[in-house]
Amino acid sequence: MTSPEGNTKVLEKRTQKKDGLLAGKRGIVFGVANDHSLAWHCAKMLYDEGAELAFTYQGENLERRIKPLAESVNSPFVDMCDLGNDEQIDKSFSKLAEKWETIDFVVHAVAFANREDLEGRFVDTSRDGFKLALDVSAYTLTAVTRRALPLMKNGGSIVTLTYYGAEKVVPNYNVMGVAKAALEASVQYLAADLGQDKVRVNAVSAGPVKTLAAKGISGFGEMLKLVEAKAPLRRNVQQDEVAKSVLYLLSDLASGVTGEVIHVDCGYSILGM
Ligand code: 0WE
């Protein structure tokens, strides 16, 4: 696969279970940036469990990374879509609607804040930095949910990824914490709206994981060490463990669960000190 250096070994096709938890279901995954992405770990597991997957990627320079990944899970739909742009979201969903009459799920694993807003003091966040972080990291859930809804003719399940920095102050997470708080509140309001359409909306709050989103964040290595020392399970969470909870929420196993945030963090968030 595409290593961080970008060399392209051909990815082998994965094999799908015959009677997986998502057999016969179709969904779209937002937020695959590379093969380390939580969104990609989710996608692989959802595929193995029988799902058919569509993908979008944010910009041209990601295309050469996403295409081989999507091919390895036999995806019939890969489209460029900047979720910061309503016209692009509309276009992607109308193209998707030409391919599929119905979808069953959405995975939203999208966040962005300016690097300069993920260090120093939160009080210094600019209006533009605040707007950008909340637009990309929180509003996009509502934007894609609204367009997915007409395709969820048999009901559906929507899962987004969040982080503990929404609930408590995590050093340097800053405006992303405020954005994730808005995202988690959005999950509740969307869940309340869409229950009548048999659409569930939930979030998985993942412990810190080394992905592109964590790269270059000062003190990230120390955070991982702290979690390892303090978390009830005395280790960091693995990408596949996050994926397993996403799978659960998308599957019929979670048919009675909506508006929920499930922490997949080795227990870190239960600690008072
Ligand atoms: O939600 C996130 C990361 C989101 C993120 C990461 C970046 C890095 C590159 C959003 N925007 C950007 N913008 C960039 O330019 N996490 C849960 C991972 C994360 O990020 C942190 C963390 C943790 C944990 C930032 C500061 C402190 C802790």
Structural domains of the chain ordered from first start: 26-264 (3.40.50.720)
pLDDT score at 4: 46
d(CA 265, CA 209) in angstroms, rounded, equals: 10
Q: Which parts of the chain fold into alpha helices (H)?
A: 38-48, 63-72, 86-99, 127-134, 140-148, 174-194, 220-230, 239-250
Name the phi and psi angles at 221, rounded to 5.
-55, -40
Task: State if residue 226 touches ligand 1 by the CB under 6 angstroms criterion.
Answer: no
Ligand 1 atom, smallest distance to 163 CA: 17
Tell me the C-alpha distance between 107 and 247, whole Å.
10
Amino acid 238: pLDDT: 97
pLDDT of residue 12: 85
Specify the pTM. 0.96
Active site annotation includes 173: yes
Residues 146, 134: Cα–Cα separation, whole Å = 17
Q: Is 170 in the pocket of ligand 1 (CB under 6 A)?
A: yes
- How many whole angstroms from 31 Cα to the centroid of ligand 1? 14
CA-proximal residue: ligand 1, atom 27 (nearest): 173
* Nearest partner of 242 among 140, 120, 160, 153, judged by Cα: 160
Name the residue at shortest CA distance from atom 6 of ligand 1.
Answer: 213
Q: Give the model's pLDDT for residue 9.
A: 57
How far, in Å, is the centroid of ligand 1 from the Cα of 155?
Answer: 32
- Which atom of ligand 1 is nearest the CA belonging to 219? 27
CB distance 134 to 85 below 8 Å: no
Ligand 1 centroid, distance to 240 Cα (angstroms): 19
Active-site residue identified among 47, 164, 173, 268: 173
Over residues 176-198, the pLDDT tens digits come to 999 999 999 999 999 999 999 99
Is residue 163 flagged as an active site residue?
yes
Angle, helices 174-194/140-148, rounded to nearest 10 degrees: 20
**Polymer length in residues for the chain:** 273
Segments of the chain with pLDDT less than 50: 1-7
Q: Would you state the pLDDT for residue 10?
A: 66
List the catalytic residue out of 47, 57, 163, 248: 163
**Paired tokens of 179:** 């954005």
214 pocket-lining for ligand 1 (C-beta < 6 Å): yes
Q: Per-residue DSSP letters for 11-30?
A: PPPP---TT-TTTT-EEEEE
User: In angstroms, what is the span from residue 253 Cα to ligand 1's centroid?
Assistant: 31
Residue 111: CB within 6 Å of ligand 1? yes
C-beta of 93 in contact with ligand 1 (< 6 A) = no
DSSP 138: I
